[in-house]
């Protein structure tokens, strides 16, 4: 890797680097390089590093610097995405071209649901947020981040980092075990303790999944529900994306209420398109979509929250009927 940052890092002494990026201390501790000479440029100081220590980590002098540059870049990206304090959606046009008169600002930790008939435009609204629309999609909506418009450069630079999308179908192409997959992801996100965060994420995923699995299970062998549980936990525990979009996770074989709570607890902005009353009412606000436009914004009332407990009981009954049918039992009026 030869680029500016690499050259700058290689030419700094450890002392200078730590003064500029105190967080880099974690990196050196992780690779057992905390005693590196701090009076020489890093590229030279590494000549004095214990070769066996480097070999233990599968590294050499050049790859240590590559990893350090990657670490510093990831930390910088994380800072940028963590700095999202709010997003604002400005109305555009309905399918018939009428003005859509609403402005909605959403902050981290908030859950907003999107309801409306089939084909009304729920997924389109999620897609507008995903691409940080700037009046250039069929709806002509605009999405502001921290109250500001995004110039194309910034918009595309943020692409994929700001927004995580969870949908019904998740496919894995790598043949790793669940444990390996999570640890690989934790390492690529430069977590200081990848094994610990991978274990936490595994526990969270298993909590969400209807059928349990082990860290040794291959990701390609997970059922649809299990892989969704894994991706939801992964997004909650590891992803730096501050905005999570969920397109219909009903019947997904995961504990969907807990999944949404888990994401919101991790200070994400969560938007869910749903036909499921439980998810719709769990949100603080719901957007009602009609004919491609936001027709109403309703705050969930205390009465609605009270009804939620009753709906949860109904839902538990339906789930138990589903489980009985799955295990080959017959359904009688007393089961209900
Ligand atoms: N304001 C709009 N202007 C133009 N086209 C729109 C607008 N809103 C939605 N559409 C288009 O209408 C179609 C249906 O919308 P969408 O798929 O978002 O519906 P949905 O509510 O998610 O449906 P379902 O519940 O069946 O998944 C899409 O082709 C979408 O691009």
Can you tell me the distance from the alpha carbon of 221 to that of 175, in angstroms, rounded to the nearest whole number? Answer: 9
Q: Given a cut of 50, is residue 319 above it in pLDDT? A: yes
From residue 197, alpha-carbon distances to 163, 187, 203 in Å are 21, 10, 10
Specify the length of the chain in residues.
336
Q: Given a cut of 70, is residue 265 above it in pLDDT? A: yes
**pLDDT attached to residue 1:** 44
**pLDDT attached to residue 10:** 87
> Is 272 touching ligand 1 by the criterion CB < 6 Å?
no
Which residues are registered as beta bridge partners of 243? 163, 269
**pLDDT attached to residue 2:** 47
Q: Given a cut of 60, is residue 260 above it in pLDDT? A: yes
- Ligand 1: centre distance to CA 166 (Å): 18
pLDDT in tens, 158-168: 656 778 877 66
Average pLDDT, the chain: 86
Share of the chain above pLDDT 70, in %: 92
Helix, strand or coil, per DSSP, at residue 134: strand
Which residues are registered as beta bridge partners of 246? 166, 272
Q: What tokens were used for 240?
A: 């730096």
Q: Given a cut of 70, is residue 238 above it in pLDDT? A: yes
Rounded to two decimals, the pTM is 0.76
Helix, strand or coil, per DSSP, at residue 41: strand
- Answer with the residue of higher pLDDT: 328 or 186: 328
CA-closest candidate to residue 176, choices 220, 211, 214:
220
Q: Given a cut of 80, is residue 199 above it in pLDDT? A: yes
From residue 328, alpha-carbon distances to 221, 252, 315, 317, 319 in Å are 24, 20, 20, 17, 14
Can you tell me the distance from the alpha carbon of 264 to that of 202, in angstroms, rounded to the nearest whole number? Answer: 18
Give the confidence band of 263 by pLDDT, cuts at 50, 70, 90.
Answer: confident
Q: What tokens were used for 267?
A: 């200070």
**pLDDT attached to residue 22:** 81
**pLDDT attached to residue 172:** 64
Indicate which residue's Cα is closest to atom 16 of ligand 1: 121
> Is 122 touching ligand 1 by the criterion CB < 6 Å?
yes
The count of C-alpha atoms lying within 13 angstroms of the C-alpha of 44, restricted to the half-sphere facing its C-beta, is 8
Cross-sheet strand order for the sheet of 103-106: 103-106, 87-90, 142-145
Ligand 1 atom closest to 139 (CA): 1
- Ligand 1: centre distance to CA 279 (Å): 20
Give the confidence band of 293 by pLDDT, cuts at 50, 70, 90.
Answer: very high
pLDDT in tens, 82-95: 678 899 999 999 99
**pLDDT attached to residue 159:** 58
Q: Do residues 49 and 36 touch, judged by C-beta distance below 8 A?
A: yes
> Taking residues 73-89, what's their average pLDDT?
79
Give the confidence band of 289 by pLDDT, cuts at 50, 70, 90.
Answer: very high
CA-closest candidate to residue 277, choices 250, 317, 306:
250
Can you tell me the distance from the alpha carbon of 163 to that of 278, in angstroms, rounded to the nearest whole number? Answer: 24
Indicate which residue's Cα is closest to atom 12 of ligand 1: 121
């Amino acid at each position: 890797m030869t680029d500016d940052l690499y050259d700058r890092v290689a030419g700094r002494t450890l002392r200078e680097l730590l003064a500029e990026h105190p967080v880099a201390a974690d990196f050196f501790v992780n690779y057992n390089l905390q005693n590196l000479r701090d009076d020489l440029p890093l590229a030279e100081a590494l000549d004095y590093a214990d070769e066996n220590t480097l070999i233990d980590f599968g590294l050499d002098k050049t790859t240590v610097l590559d990893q350090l540059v990657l670490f510093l870049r990831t930390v910088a990206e994380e800072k940028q995405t963590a700095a999202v304090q709010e997003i604002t959606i400005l109305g555009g046009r309905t399918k018939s071209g009428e003005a859509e008169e609403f402005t909605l600002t959403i902050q981290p930790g908030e859950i907003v649901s999107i309801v409306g008939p089939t084909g009304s435009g729920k997924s389109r609204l999620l897609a507008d947020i995903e691409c940080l629309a700037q009046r250039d999609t069929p709806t002509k909506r605009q999405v502001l981040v921290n109250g500001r418009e995004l110039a194309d450069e910034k918009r595309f630079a943020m692409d994929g980092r700001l927004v995580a999308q969870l949908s019904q179908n998740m496919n894995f192409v790598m043949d790793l075990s669940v444990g390996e997959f999570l640890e690989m992801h934790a390492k690529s996100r430069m977590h200081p303790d990848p094994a610990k965060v991978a274990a936490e994420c595994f526990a969270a995923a298993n909590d969400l999944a209807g059928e349990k699995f082990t860290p040794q299970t291959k990701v390609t062998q997970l059922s649809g529900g299990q892989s969704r549980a894994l991706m939801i936990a992964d997004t909650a525990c590891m992803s730096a994306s501050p905005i999570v979009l969920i397109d219909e996770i009903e019947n997904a074989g995961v504990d969907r209420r807990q999944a949404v709570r888990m994401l919101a607890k991790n200070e994400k902005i969560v938007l869910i398109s749903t036909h499921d009353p439980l998810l719709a009412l769990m949100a603080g606000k719901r957007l009602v979509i009609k004919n491609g436009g936001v027709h109403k914004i309703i705050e969930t009332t205390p009465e609605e929250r009270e009804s939620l407990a009753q709906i949860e009981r109904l839902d538990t009954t339906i789930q138990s009927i589903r489980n009985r049918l799955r295990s080959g039992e017959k359904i009688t009026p007393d089961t209900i």
